[in-house]
Structure 1
Amino acid sequence: MDILAATNIPFRVGFLLVDGFALMSYSAAVEPLRAANRLAGQDVYEISQLPVVGAQSVSSSGAIVKATTHLGERVDFDLIIVVAGSGPERFSNERVFQWLRHLARRGVIMGGVSGGPVILARSGIMGGRRMTVHWEHAEAVSEFSPSLLLERSIYVIDRDRLTCAGGMAALDMMHALITAHHGPEFARRVSDWFVHTEIRPAGGPQRSGAVERYGTTNRPILQAIELMEDHIADPLALDQIARLSGLGSRQLNRLFHDKLGRSTMGFYRDLRLDKADALLAQSSLSITQVALAAGFATSAHFSDSYRRRFGRSPSQRRTCGQPRPI
């Protein structure tokens, strides 16, 4: 399951709050869902709060969030988001780890905010998935699991995993989630509700903005590129990208040819191959795993596409240097 395919109404989101969680990170993740319900005039998101133990969770500032359900109860979720604060690398509740693994096996989408991605990693469900984490925890994550595909991005969406550095970046990640479910115009209304008019792409702020990188200010093109960057391992079809960008497929293709000199799907393929090239250089994933992480169904298709773009095979790229952590 990926975030675009999972469009149950209401979409059931559970927040697992680890005592000491950052209140800002939690608020930035949960409040867009509440605003979406209000603006839609119905509950398009069903929100549950789960403490690790007991009847409530306590934030780092002392704010109390009361439980609406508990671990192990017979409640179905589409998405679980773990929110944690300082010291998540020391979290060692095996009951929580087992519960997260159980939900992941059932196909529930798993997310983490601030220190939450560390707990996802410690539970063993982030293998072969790109992820990010708050900069404060990045070194600790690299030490206890150097094979993780850790990126210094504000958020990363990789198929059925959503991870976010925390703070206000959660607003950007939830904007991407709401866009995938209800389209960019509705997501923009939600962001405007919070006067959050400068939506950042997944890769910011460690790189320049899309306007500078691609030399265009065309909103549908930038919206399409943002969708592509959020769906590297689970590629969207042209009609999906066009619909979510507010255009027809032919019109979007014309824009890409006029502004970027490539077709929409040709641009998308190159974006995925660039990500694969980085993984070959910077990770220890097998070529088959890299192919899957870049959205290619088979190694043969990936190898052919990679050779056409870079003039050498993936295995030749891998021998150019030893993989290193991202």
Structure 2
Amino acid sequence: MAPDPRRDTGVEVRAERFVFLLLEHFTLIAFAGAVEPLRLANLMAGRALYDWSTVSAGGAPVTASNGVAVQVDGPLGELGRDAIIIVVGGVDVKTAITRPILTWLRREARRVAAIGAVCTGAQAIAQAGLLDGRRCTIHWENRDSFEEDFPEIELSPNIYVIDQNRYTAAGGTASTDLLLKLIARRHGTDLANMVADQMIHTQIRTDKDEQRLSIPTRIGVRHPKLSTVVQMMEDNIEEPISPALLATDVGMSTRQLERLFRRYLNRSPKRYYMELRLKKARNLLLQTDMSVINVALACGFASPSHFSKCYRALYKTTPYRERGASEAPG
């Protein structure tokens, strides 16, 4: 039986130090989900197992993506060897990553105990070269742009990844699961479970859990052949598969597949597939510096004019105007 983490053993335990770097427009829930387990671990143990501080470039207050301004403890500074840096990202993460931030991350990586990131913070540590040869994760909405920027980095679809002294969590409540895992590794599962209870976190997920809901849940239909076809579509955006081949792969005729999509998704397989491809195209236009032509190719369009026509039909604007709008000052 594991010892009660609340019992005073008389042995002084040095608090583990976390330093949270808040990037402009960071996601507040991801930050809170990482800090609260530390606070509650101290409360449940009856002693200071952890301490934490917040920093920003220049030490100025940082505004979260929901508009809440957060006062930080100080600017980027020199840390001790026992510190763990957690970069907290959010929306428009590329504009929030500055040269001083990258310089600081590279310098501190040579001495701190570990570096991690939650939500889109992985973009910053990858850009600093600190994920080379490592596995990581990032919020699913930023997956396409991350893979384009860092094709050599192994990106996981799971909610968090621990690769030696690199910790990444996908955002949202995934940061809580990551921190509960770190607490369990250092102080035992009993304490981690007590913290989860305090947070009304009824199920502690593991690094094997995927970020997104299952396809049947997402599309609201539990039909195995339909789910299989949708998965095949999602896995083959750059080189689309014809509806005839999709139907053959699940043992149906093209007409049967057509009826299946119209009955459950109110659109043809071709239309559904097109919307998936255009949604990825929009993410790439808004989140990367890829040219419009390369975005078109990455989403299975051989002709830029056809891509533009299809894009306008769905989003009521052209890819070029979409790109221009995303670059306009707010």
Question: TM class, shorter-chain normalised?
Answer: 0.5 to 0.7
Aligned-pair CA distance for 1:13 = 0.2
Secondary structure at 1:48 match in 2: strand
Q: 1:73 and 1:206 mapped to 2: Cα distance?
A: 34
Residue 23 (structure 2) pairs with residue 12 (structure 1): no
Give the one of 97, 120, 126 matched to 2:131. 126
Question: Against the structure 1 CA distance between its residues 181 and 19, is the aligned structure 2 distance closer, same or farther, given a 3 Å change threshold?
Answer: same
Letter in 2 for 1:116: G
Q: 1:82 and 1:62 mapped to 2: Cα distance?
A: 19
**Unmatched tracts of structure 1, length 5 or more:** 1-6, 209-326
Residue 96 (structure 2) pairs with residue 105 (structure 1): no
Aligned-pair CA distance for 1:118 = 0.9
Match of residue 173 from structure 2: 168
Aligned-pair CA distance for 1:54 = 3.4
> In the TM superposition, what are the counterparts of 1:256-275 in structure 2 within 5 Å?
none
Aligned-pair CA distance for 1:10 = 0.5
Aligned-pair CA distance for 1:69 = 2.7
Secondary structure at 2:203 match in 1: coil
Secondary structure at 2:151 match in 1: coil
> In the TM superposition, what are the counterparts of 1:47-66 in structure 2 within 5 Å?
47-66=52-71
Secondary structure at 1:82 match in 2: strand
Aligned-pair CA distance for 1:64 = 2.3
Secondary structure at 1:115 match in 2: helix
Aligned-pair CA distance for 1:68 = 1.4
> In the TM superposition, what are the counterparts of 1:193-208 in structure 2 within 5 Å?
193-205=198-210
Query: Which has more radius of gyration?
Result: 2
Letter in 2 for 1:193: Q
Q: CA RMSD in A?
A: 2.2
Equivalent pair of 2:84/2:112 in contact (CA under 8 Å): no
Q: 2:210 and 2:177 mapped to 1: Cα distance?
A: 12
Secondary structure at 2:58 match in 1: coil
> In the TM superposition, what are the counterparts of 1:1-326 in structure 2 within 5 Å?
9-73=14-78, 77-205=82-210
Q: 2:80 and 2:61 mapped to 1: Cα distance?
A: 18
Equivalent pair of 1:89/1:141 in contact (CA under 8 Å): no
Aligned-pair CA distance for 1:73 = 4.5
Equivalent pair of 2:134/2:154 in contact (CA under 8 Å): yes
Aligned-pair CA distance for 1:188 = 0.4
Q: 1:21 and 1:125 mapped to 2: Cα distance?
A: 20
Question: Against the structure 1 CA distance between its residues 92 and 65, is the aligned structure 2 distance closer, same or farther, given a 3 Å change threshold?
Answer: closer
The C-alpha deviation readout for 1:229-257, integer Å capped at 9, x for no partner, is: xxxxxxxxxxxxxxxxxxxxxxxxxxxxx
Aligned-pair CA distance for 1:197 = 1.8
* TM, length-normalised to structure 1: 0.59
Q: 2:54 and 2:206 mapped to 1: Cα distance?
A: 27
Letter in 2 for 1:100: L
Question: Against the structure 1 CA distance between its residues 97 and 111, is the aligned structure 2 distance closer, same or farther, given a 3 Å change threshold?
Answer: same
Secondary structure at 1:86 match in 2: coil
Aligned-pair CA distance for 1:108 = 2.8
Secondary structure at 1:162 match in 2: strand
Letter in 2 for 1:199: I
Equivalent pair of 1:16/1:49 in contact (CA under 8 Å): yes
Aligned-pair CA distance for 1:32 = 0.6
Letter in 1 for 2:188: G
Aligned-pair CA distance for 1:207 = 9.8
Equivalent pair of 2:115/2:165 in contact (CA under 8 Å): yes
